[in-house]
Structure 1
């Protein structure tokens, strides 16, 4: 079973390598961000597979942290790329009489 988990981790790692290529060469910022999300998800998958293969269940905490960081990166990207942080729930609505 460990050989299967290690082989699966190697395949996911190849996917992560393809994601790094798109982050480096991506034609648009959105393409690069989606590739970064792929890298984050692939990183979580690799850490989880290695944890299961080696029986080191504490590594699952590291995978959870990676997943949270990937989600925060996506939110930060959207807020940075929209004009004036559009879609910010903390922003006040304009009071122009409508």
Structure 2
């Protein structure tokens, strides 16, 4: 079905536009927290793009890559929160 492929590619393109908006927030971002949340947006949007491309191209392996990217985003957020808390006593 070519319409389904075009639909998933359009979704991936739309998500790519939001990724560019997140890049702007990382670049401008007034605080470190804003930058980290924008980086978290990269992780979740990247997962969404990979899942949409997986459907469009019928590539099941992209789902595995999306899961790894989601795990890396969670690890990055945990590391950021621990860093912002400071030394624990």
- Following superposition, the deviation at residue 81 of structure 1 comes to 1.2
Q: Provide the C-alpha distance between the structure 2 equivalents of 1:65 and 1:18, rounded to a whole number of angstroms.
A: 23
1:51 aligns to what? 54
- Following superposition, the deviation at residue 48 of structure 1 comes to 0.6
Unaligned stretches of 5+ residues in structure 1: 87-93
1:25 aligns to what? 28
TM value normalised by structure 1: 0.84
Structure with greater contact order relative to length (CA < 8 Å, sep ≥ 6): 2
2:17 aligns to what? 14
2:7 aligns to what? 4
TM value normalised by structure 2: 0.93
- Following superposition, the deviation at residue 77 of structure 1 comes to 0.2
Instruction: Could you list the structure 1 runs, at least 4 aligned residues long, displaced by more than 3 angstroms after superposition.
Output: none
2:63 aligns to what? 60
- Following superposition, the deviation at residue 11 of structure 1 comes to 0.2
Q: What RMSD over aligned residues (CA atoms) do the two structures have, in Å?
A: 1.0
How many aligned positions are there?
86
